[in-house]
Amino acid sequence: MATIEECRSALDKLSENLAGADGDVRTAAALDRSLSCHITDLDVTFASRLRDGRIEVLDTLQGPPPERAEIRLTMTGDDLVSMVNGELHFAKAWGSGRVRLEAGLLDLVRLRKLL
């Protein structure tokens, strides 16, 4: 089971990957939205901001997110680490229900470029 520190490192790595992306991926990540990532097996939420193609973690909270972020991710810590390391494809994990992504329709259309 991934630790809180490993999950935080994975989010930092994801942020670096998004910031260094080109083309459609960079455009899709160039949103300014609140983002939460709830790690179900640790019952921890990373309250963040997606801005200028980077994820800025603002707080680490115990339990589910207290406020509804504009973009919401839910998964296990192992799945987060595996996705960021390229061992688990997001679309496959999302399609099988291992990862949950919730956002407004326009954001979902834009974020699909990241898949």
At residue 114, does pLDDT exceed 70?
Answer: no
Q: Which residue has the higher pLDDT, 16 or 30?
A: 16
The residue-averaged pLDDT of 45-73 equals 94
47 within 8 A of 59, measured Cβ to Cβ: yes
Assign 3-class secondary structure to 34-84: EEEEEECCCCEEEEEEEECCEEEEEEEEECCCCCCCCEEEEECHHHHHHHH
State the pTM of this model: 0.90
Q: What is the pLDDT of residue 115?
A: 55
8-state DSSP, 3: -
Class assignment of domain 4-109?
alpha beta
Domain coordinates of the chain in residue numbers? 4-109
